Structure 1
Amino acid sequence: MSQYRVLIDANDEKGLVHKVSSIFYSYDLNILSNSEFVDRQSNKFFMRSVVEGNVDNTELFKALREVLPEHSGIKIVKPEKKNIIIMATKEIHALGDILIRHEAGELEANIVAVISNYDNLESFVKKFDIPYITISHQRLERQEHESKIIEAVQSYKEVDFIVLAKYMRILTPRFVETFENKIINIHHSFLPAFIGANPYKQAYDRGVKIIGATAHFVNNNLDEGPIIAQETIHVTHAYSWKDMQRAGRDVEKVVLSKALKLALEDRIFTYANRTVIF
Structure 2
Amino acid sequence: MNKTLILIECRDNVGLVAIISQILSKHDLNITAMREFVDEAANRFFARIECRGMVQSANQLLDELQASLPLEAKVTINPKAEKTVALLVTKEYHCLADILVRHSFNTLGANVCCVAGNYDSLKTFAERFDIPFHYITHENKSKEQFEQELLAVVEPYEPDFIVLAKFMRILSSQFVARFPNQIINIHHSFLPAFIGASPYRQAYERGVKVIGATAHFVTNDLDEGPIIVQQTIPVNHTFGVSEMVIAGKEIEKSVLSKALQLVFQDRVFVTGNKTIIFE
TM-score (normalised: structure 2): 0.97
C-alpha spacing 1:174/1:190, structure 2 compared with 1 (3 Å): same
Q: Distance in 1 between matches of 2:4 and 2:150?
A: 33
Q: Distance in 2 between matches of 1:5 and 1:79?
A: 10
Corresponding residue of 1:89: 90
Corresponding residue of 2:21: 21
Deviation at 1:180, TM superposition (A): 1.3
Deviation at 1:2, TM superposition (A): 3.8
Corresponding residue of 2:251: 251
Deviation per residue, 1:189-230 (Å, 9 max, x gap): 000111011111111111100000000000000000000001
Deviation at 1:29, TM superposition (A): 0.8
Deviation at 1:73, TM superposition (A): 1.4
Unaligned runs of 5+ residues in structure 2 are none
Deviation per residue, 1:154-191 (Å, 9 max, x gap): 121x3100000000000011110011111000000000
C-alpha spacing 1:223/1:78, structure 2 compared with 1 (3 Å): closer
1:233-272 equivalences under 5 Å are 233-272=233-272
Q: Distance in 2 between matches of 1:177 and 1:258?
A: 25
One-letter code aligned to 1:12:
D
Q: Is the 8 A contact 1:3 1:79 kept in 2?
A: no
Query: Are 1:147 and 2:148 an aligned pair?
Result: yes
Q: Distance in 2 between matches of 1:169 and 1:19?
A: 47
Q: Is the 8 A contact 1:3 1:78 kept in 2?
A: no
Corresponding residue of 1:109: 110
TM-score (normalised: structure 1): 0.97
Deviation at 1:78, TM superposition (A): 4.1
Unaligned runs of 5+ residues in structure 1 are none
How many residues align structurally?
277
One-letter code aligned to 2:102:
R
Deviation per residue, 1:58-103 (Å, 9 max, x gap): 1111010111111211111245211100000000001111111112
Q: Distance in 2 between matches of 1:173 and 1:78?
A: 27
Corresponding residue of 1:131: 132
1:8-47 equivalences under 5 Å are 8-47=8-47
Corresponding residue of 1:230: 230
Corresponding residue of 2:221: 221
Corresponding residue SS for 1:155: helix
Q: Is the 8 A contact 1:114 1:133 kept in 2?
A: yes
Query: Are 1:197 and 2:205 an aligned pair?
Result: no
One-letter code aligned to 2:214:
T
- The CA RMSD over aligned residues, in Å, is 1.1
Identical residues among aligned pairs (%): 49
